[in-house]
């Protein structure tokens, strides 16, 4: 399954690079928005989706929730359905449009608050939220940039708020570590090829948290 997924990524990339007039911006997955979720589901056997949905207990009616690097918005749908006031930020207009399409059905059926989509660099955003979500977002950057982005996201969490991060994690098992390195290397190389993402081992985000924030729990749903 992993090899097939990687092959599909390469074929899709080459095909889209030939048919897309403008060059893809760095870390912009817009040209792949139609297949992004499908490939993630095949690669992780659903683990990526489950990770994104693992923190949904923090979404409450009228709470302010920010999705940084929202992508296609699988997790934002749950927040909107819970009655949260959701802001979705991404540098890709195509991804934001996919997110908006997924959310519209929930809004029409339940009269929920409208989704606010903002196409901008997250580092220029300055509002505070009850919940800030960064699912499979911080891993697209080199370490120094990722750490700076995380520090900025922490400033967007209001006092008493929650920061949710779903991502790949390193294994301490000497047997599993090499396997995980190969497993994690497939998307790392694919994303580098597709959008110029940084290639690296999984980051330890908990170690980067500022002193006024604490790690409440680690969830086991991630790949």
| Nearest one of 148, 140, 146 to 194, comparing CA atoms | 140
Say which DSSP state 205 is in: G
Spell out the per-residue pLDDT of the chain, length 223, in tens.
555 555 555 555 555 554 443 434 555 555 556 677 888 888 888 888 898 988 889 999 999 999 999 999 989 999 998 999 999 999 999 999 999 988 887 766 666 777 899 999 999 999 999 999 999 999 999 999 999 999 999 999 999 999 999 998 877 777 777 887 787 777 777 777 777 788 888 899 999 998 888 776 666 545 5
Q: Which residues contact 64 (CB under 8 A, 6 or more apart)?
A: 84, 85, 87, 127, 128, 129, 130, 131, 158
Q: Kindly compute the dihedral angle of the four CA atoms of residues 183, 98, 114, 89, in this order, to the nearest 10 degrees.
A: 50
pTM of the model: 0.82
Length of the chain: 223
| Nearest one of 157, 183, 166, 140 to 26, comparing CA atoms | 140
The DSSP bridge partners found for residue 65 are 86, 131
- CA-to-CA dists, residue 186 to 3, 43, 182, 195, angstroms: 9, 9, 7, 14
Distance, in Å, from the CA atom of 162 to the CA atom of 45, rounded to the nearest integer, reads 28
Provide DSSP, 111-147.
Answer: TPPPPEEEES-GGG----EEEEEEES-GGGS-HHHHH
The DSSP bridge partners found for residue 67 are 88, 133
């Amino acid at each position: 399954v992993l090899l097939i997924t990687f092959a599909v990524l390469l074929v899709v990339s080459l095909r889209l690079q030939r048919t897309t007039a403008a060059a893809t911006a760095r870390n912009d997955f817009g040209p792949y928005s139609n297949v992004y979720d499908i490939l993630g589901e095949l690669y992780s056997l659903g683990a990526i989706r489950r990770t994104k949905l693992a923190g949904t207990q923090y979404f409450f009616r009228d709470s302010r929730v920010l999705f940084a690097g929202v992508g296609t918005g699988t997790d934002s749908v749950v927040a909107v359905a819970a009655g949260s006031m959701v802001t979705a930020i991404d540098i890709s207009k195509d991804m934001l449009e996919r997110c908006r399409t997924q959310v519209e059905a929930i809004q029409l059926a339940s009269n929920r608050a409208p989704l606010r989509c903002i196409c901008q660099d997250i580092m220029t955003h300055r509002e505070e939220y009850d919940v800030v979500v960064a699912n499979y977002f911080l891993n697209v950057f080199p370490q120094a940039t990722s750490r700076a982005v995380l520090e900025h996201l922490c400033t967007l969490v209001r006092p008493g708020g929650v920061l949710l991060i779903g991502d790949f994690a390193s294994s301490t098992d000497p047997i599993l570590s090499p396997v995980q390195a190969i497993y994690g290397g497939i998307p790392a190389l694919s994303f580098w090829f597709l959008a110029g993402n940084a290639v690296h081992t999984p980051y330890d985000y908990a170690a980067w948290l500022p002193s006024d924030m604490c790690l409440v729990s680690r969830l086991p749903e991630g790949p």
